[in-house]
Every structure is written in structure tokens, then in C-alpha cells.
């Protein structure tokens, strides 16, 4: 069983991300795959699918996902390229990505702490007023 190469426009866009990237349709799993040639092999598509799989690394299997599970076929389009660019940026800029993630988490925690403090302050104030009013009500009787 053979394989199919991605359309030329898609392959051209992939080459802009990394010269070693290529995309094939793998009929065994019925999914497009983004692959990267192993350094010791040069780009060559006149080989069998099994040989091609041995000579390249899987970068991404293009599929529809829900909660990380494969739920169906997904065509090659701009969304795939956008996801690849983001994943590549995250991989190449791990320290920056983690710094941004830490900053975001600090802001979320700070807002949560402020909200909890405000809620506690309001609860104490409401409780104190209820307690104070109960003594005022006793004095009226």
C-alpha cells in the first residue's frame, strides 16, 4: 500500500517552517501526517511507505480531537499550519513560554486571592452586623 503526498501549496508552506518537513497521507491509518526527515536521509519519495516511515520522524498526525482523543479525519488546511507554528514556537521558546505561563498564573492567583479576601471581609461584616443587630433587638424588648 502506497502513500500520497500533500498538495504543493501545503508542502511549500511546510518548507517555510522547516526544510525537513513534509506531509503524506498514510492510508494505513487514514490520516495526514506531518513528518521530518532523519538527518542521515535525504528527501526521497520513490520508496515504500514502510521505508519512508523508518527514515522520518512523526511530527504530527492531523486529526480532529476532543479531549485528546482522535475523533476523525481532518483535511490539510491553514489551521494545521497555524498549530504547527504554535507548537514549534512553544518548543523553541520553552523558557519564554513558561515565563508567560507563570506570569499568567500569578495574575490569576492574585485575582483569586483578592476575590476570596473580599468575600471573607463581606461575610465577617454581614455576620458582625447580624450579631450587633441581635443585641439591639434584645434591648428593645
Q: How confident is the model at residue 96 (pLDDT cuts 50, 70, 90)?
A: confident
Residue 137: its pLDDT value, please?
Answer: 64
Contact 62, 80 (CB under 8 A): yes
Q: Which helix (H) or strand (E) holds 107?
A: helix 94-140
Does the pTM surpass 0.85? The reply is no
Domain ranges of the chain: 4-92, 102-141
C-alpha distances (whole Å) from 85 to each of 27, 74, 109 are: 25, 18, 29
Cell of 55: 527514515
Q: What is the 3-state secondary structure (H, E, C) of 117-130?
A: HHHHHHHHHHHHHH
- The predicted-structure confidence for 26-63, as pLDDT tens digits, reads as follows 888 888 999 998 877 777 777 788 888 888 888 888 88
Q: Which three cell numbers stand for residue 4?
A: 500520497
DSSP 1: -
Dist. CA 69–CA 72, nearest whole Å:
9
Amino acid at each position: 500500500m502506497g502513500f500520497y503526498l500533500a498538495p504543493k501549496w501545503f508542502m511549500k508552506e511546510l518548507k517555510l517552517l522547516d526544510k525537513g518537513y513534509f506531509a503524506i497521507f498514510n492510508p494505513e491509518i487514514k490520516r495526514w501526517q506531518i513528518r521530518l526527515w532523519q538527518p542521515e536521509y535525504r528527501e526521497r519519495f520513490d520508496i515504500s511507505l514502510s521505508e519512508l516511515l523508518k527514515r522520518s520522524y512523526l511530527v504530527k498526525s492531523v486529526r480532529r480531537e476532543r479531549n485528546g482523543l482522535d475523533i476523525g479525519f481532518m483535511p490539510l488546511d491553514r489551521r494545521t499550519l497555524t498549530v504547527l507554528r504554535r507548537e514549534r514556537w512553544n518548543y523553541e521558546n520553552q523558557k519564554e513560554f513558561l515565563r508567560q505561563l507563570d506570569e499568567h498564573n500569578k495574575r490569576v492567583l492574585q485575582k483569586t486571592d483578592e476575590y476570596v479576601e473580599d468575600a471573607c471581609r463581606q461575610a465577617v461584616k454581614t455576620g458582625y452586623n447580624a450579631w450587633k443587630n441581635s443585641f439591639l433587638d434584645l434591648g428593645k424588648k
